[in-house]
Amino acid sequence: MTNTSDSQRVAEAVLRDHGADLGGARRGRGWTNATWLTDELVVRVASSPGTADLLRERRLAELLPAEVGYPPVVDAGVRHGHEWVLSRRVPGENLEEVWPSLDPAARSRAVEQMWERACHVHRVDVAAAAPHARLRSPFFPGTPAEAAAALDRLVSAGGLTPAQAKGLGHALDRFWAALPAAPVALNHGDLCTPNTLWHAGRVVALLDFEFAVIAPIAIDLNEIAKLAFGPGGSAPLRDTVRDVTAAALDAAGGPDVLVGYSIMLEMWVLAHELAAGDPDEADRANAAAMLAAFAEGNGGYFAPLLDR
């Protein structure tokens, strides 16, 4: 039996134990966990058996302020080796799915409200959150040596030229130099429209904290910046994102920290897509474009945000 069918078996058992109508359950989104939804409940099941992030996330959720909108947890546990969490379903739609239908004013409102809710995450007591956050994010190298090795692998794979890797290395040198002075906070760690719930014209919840990490808030700020200033970013959002960045950049550690985290995330995306059997060509092209621009040493796509 495959992991997918194992996950479905766990989801069915959990929903049945809680009196849910199995016939009405539908498969939800998610690439690291399997999700099923009923009218009132959502069950997330780890795709693979063993220790995962769901039970840790459940403990972290108890610390999140109500303003984050995290769905109330009904129950959690382990079945057939798979971690699972059952939550109340919050009314709303995935923001990524409704994004194409939103006008510029609604998109700007959505970005403002995403960041407002993220700011409540950032105010969680670090000492209380640290035992339940990831020790490190899988998206970011933990040391200069790891980052340099990742750049070398991208050159070997044909994703970067040696000159680009050298330019990115210089930017990462500035990142590592600035990082120790940057204040840290609890980050969502994957702050994006797919992890945001939209209802009645407003953001009502941030979801899926499995990548939450204690680090400078530049990790979350980068995701907001990309929505407006990354390749294919939305020009009507730029004034909103400029305001967000101007208010948050110092607390995020400054320009070098923001650019460094952005570079490392795009390195991860590019490496992932280069290794994929069926790559997302848009993601690969966008990551390559961002890295090429950052390699020039002038802030790349984020230059308009950093020239204050």
Distance, in Å, from the CA atom of 131 to the CA atom of 128, rounded to the nearest integer, reads: 7
The single-letter code of the amino acid at 99 is: W
Structure tokens at 46: 């780890």
Entry pTM = 0.93
Q: Which domains does the chain have, with CATH numbers?
A: 3-88 (3.30.200.20), 93-306 (3.90.1200.10)
| pLDDT tens over the chain, length 308 residues | 234 588 888 999 999 999 887 677 888 776 678 899 998 999 999 888 877 789 999 999 999 999 999 999 999 999 999 999 999 999 999 999 999 999 999 999 999 999 999 999 999 999 999 999 999 999 999 999 999 999 999 999 999 999 999 999 999 999 999 999 999 999 999 999 999 999 999 999 999 999 999 999 999 999 999 999 999 888 899 999 999 999 999 999 999 999 999 999 999 999 999 999 999 999 999 999 999 999 999 999 999 999 75
Gap between the Cα atoms of 204 and 69, Å rounded? 6
pLDDT given for residue 30 in this prediction = 67
Q: Please say whether the beta carbons of 33 and 11 come within 8 A.
A: no
DSSP at 19: T
Give the helix ranges, DSSP H, for 158-254: 162-178, 218-229, 238-248
